[in-house]
Amino acid sequence: MNKIQLLITLAITAIAPIVWGSTYIVTSELLPANSPLLASTLRALPAGLVLVMITRILPIGIWWWRLVVLAFLNIGFFFYCLFFAATHLPGGMAALVMSIQPILVIALSYLLLSNKLNVQQVLASFVAIGSIALLLINNQAELSSRGLIMGLLGTISMATGIVMTKRWGRPRNMTLLNFTGWQLLLGGGMLLPVAWWFEGFPEQFSTDNIIGYLYLCVVGAMLAYSLWFNGIDKLPTITLSFLGFLSSVSAVVLGYIFLGQSLTSLQCLGAAGIFIAIILATPKTVALSKQSSPRH
């Protein structure tokens, strides 16, 4: 992959976390209060069903249980943690908890992918954590201990999902959309009975609710996760994990535009720091192709 191809792949993959940054504002402004399980289910399940019906490819052999594991890590459990944290923590504060993700990915990549430890990537991790802190420096709201714990568990889930997806690759008989669809479908299926039991379903949805759920399903799941899994296919896991920080930048910018939240010079410095961390974490293009996982 040459330099231009790398930049294009980075830019396309970056769309996913930028879209996910809007989860915070959509959750707080358009969705019913205190319903993270319902939001998670309606985000994943319909999107997965549509993609699987369009592509019509079944998993084969060991890929049935592998997809169940990936669906739990990347979608089911992670979605619940994400929406729980977004519901119980102010603004993009969940992103501060999740800023340890690159460090987890570096450790897991060393253990499971035999990647060498890179001092520059560790440095980039601390730059990113400091940058996230600057982005959220003006946030004075009270923190929920449950929200912090679920945010941490979500970080572990996503980091493990990224590394395992890279380790296993994608089955040869599956297209990217099909691979994405099965994970969304299985992950949403895991969430459905839990959402029904603990939260139930409202008798009716408002127009705002419908708009919010449609956005999260079509844009936040179908589009964003297709781009994300394509990035996992082509980019090193550690570089990919740093792109996830763009969701924090997106959340802060959207809060400034739509909610009238402040945007200080320190927050702008934090946003710039995120981009510096991504650059530091991106390896030379000549080594990029060696990171790709074989497909089974």
Give tens-digit pLDDT for 23-75: 878 988 999 887 888 989 999 999 999 999 999 999 999 999 999 999 999 99
Supply the pTM of this predicted model.
0.87
- Mean pLDDT, residues 117-127: 85
The answer for 143, left when phi > 0, alpha when psi is -120 to 50, beta otherwise, is: beta
What letter represents residue 70's amino acid? L
Q: Could you tell me if 252 and 135 are in contact, meaning their C-beta atoms sit under 8 angstroms apart?
A: yes
Q: Which residue has the tokens 């969701």?
A: 247
Residue 218: the pLDDT is 96
- Mean pLDDT, residues 148-153: 86
Q: Could you tell me if 233 and 119 are in contact, meaning their C-beta atoms sit under 8 angstroms apart?
A: no
Q: Could you tell me if 135 and 267 are in contact, meaning their C-beta atoms sit under 8 angstroms apart?
A: yes
- Cα 219 to its chain centre, rounded Å, is 13
Q: Could you tell me if 165 and 232 are in contact, meaning their C-beta atoms sit under 8 angstroms apart?
A: yes
Virtual CA dihedral for 197, 198, 202, 207, nearest 10 degrees? -120
Split at pLDDT 50, 70, 90, the class of 77 is very high
> Residue 219: CA atoms inside 13 Å, Cβ hemisphere, count?
15
Residue 187: the pLDDT is 97
| Tokens found for residue 244 | 């996830």
| Tokens found for residue 36 | 């993270």
User: What one-character DSSP code corresponds to residue 203?
Assistant: S
> Residue 17: CA atoms inside 13 Å, Cβ hemisphere, count?
24
- Cα 145 to its chain centre, rounded Å, is 22
**Range list of β-strands (E), the chain:** none
Q: Could you tell me if 237 and 166 are in contact, meaning their C-beta atoms sit under 8 angstroms apart?
A: yes
Contacts of 103 (CB under 8 A, 6+ apart): 122, 125
Mean pLDDT rounded to a whole number for the chain: 86
